[in-house]
Structure 1
């Protein structure tokens, strides 16, 4: 097969809401870009304090996956499977709302798992694994 004619399967594991440049954990709307934080924040302290961390962490993790897939020449529709790990399954509906921003029509096949702890500390509420299938033309000059 000529170069670029083979499909590629990529696996991203351990995507957590930690900024690799600063080593800081995303803890709320203040830790994500302004338009995202402003869109998610209600302005009500109690609501934002409870929902903000999981909403912001969910956005950060999915955006990290989107950027990584794009850097490999793909798009979010190339993600064929997600495994989501939560410390609290009550957070899944909040994550699901954010996931709809990245997958407005149909999300990929997903598995949801509750775990007792995550690294590096207890403020990490979510971790995601993504499996990506890049079609044969992903690294060729042909448009997709």
Structure 2
């Protein structure tokens, strides 16, 4: 979450979460796993209430139970990318390309509503891919790779 975000938190596996190469920043696939709490984000209870309401929480159980995982994971991964790029001196508009991996392409419209909050005016170049599964768990329903241009 933005207010508890720790850009120095280490990934839970042996890889680099992002790397600068000249004027470009490349993000590994970002998933909704909080490395500080060592917890997969699975729903609205795992994010701030004000964010949950902003991204689509309705307080209707039959709706929220079906939508909360993709909405909360979408927000978490995009927020992680945004917070990381800000700590490097940039803005979300500097992230110009996203590759989005879904375990179910039917989730794209919900993800898109969250992504539009991060890109209200000029959406990034995007690639959308459906995959069978992602690590570390079947609880992960989205992974996002990002590329940013941020001159030194």
**TM-score (normalizing by structure 1):** 0.87
Deviation for aligned residue 1:85: 0.3
The alignment yields a C-alpha RMSD, in angstroms, of: 1.0
Structure 2 counterpart of 1:16, from 22, 31, 44: 31
Structure with higher RCO (Cα < 8 A, 6+ apart): 1
Instruction: Write the mapping of 1:59-74 to structure 2, written as runs, cut at 5 A.
Output: 59-74=75-90
Partner of 2:96: 80
Structure ID, larger Rg: 1
Output the CA distance in 1 between the equivalents of 2:48 and 2:60: 19
Check if 1:27 corresponds to 2:42: yes
Output the CA distance in 2 between the equivalents of 1:80 and 1:59: 17
User: For structure 2, which runs of at least 5 residues remain unmatched after alignment?
Assistant: 1-21
SS, match of residue 42 in structure 2: coil
Output the CA distance in 1 between the equivalents of 2:136 and 2:103: 13
**TM-score (normalizing by structure 2):** 0.83
Partner of 1:109: 125
Q: Deviations over 1:66-103 (max 9, x none)?
A: 00101111100001100000000000000000001100
Structure 1 segments, 4+ long, off by >6 Å, are none
State the aligned residue count: 130
Deviation for aligned residue 1:135: 2.8
